Amino acid sequence: MKSAKQEAEAMIAKLPEDCSLEDIQYQLYVHEKIQRGLDSAKARGTVPQEQAEARLGQWLAK
């Protein structure tokens, strides 16, 4: 398993040479949010597609 520093370095290496610090920050932010979501899904499980659609339908109907 890669360390956080190794992951960040690999991610930055894929960005274009002319990227800004803001671009780098955004990529790190998105990566962190995705990783937290995946960790949460592993810990708490996920909702089946049909159930998610039913929930969204209730919210959108209001």
Quick: pLDDT tens for 1-55.
889 999 999 999 999 999 999 999 999 999 999 999 999 999 999 999 999 999 9
Query: What pLDDT shows up at residue 61?
Result: 73
pLDDT at 62 over 80: no
Query: What pLDDT shows up at residue 12?
Result: 95
Q: Which two tokens stand for residue 12?
A: 């930055």
61 or 11, which is more confident?
Answer: 11
List of long-range contacts for 3-10, beta carbons under 8 Å, 24+ apart: 7/31
Closest CA to 31 of 1, 8, 9, 6: 8
Q: What is the SS3 string spanning the chain?
A: CCCHHHHHHHHHHHCCCCCCHHHHHHHHHHHHHHHHHHHHHHHHCCCCHHHHHHHHHHHHHC
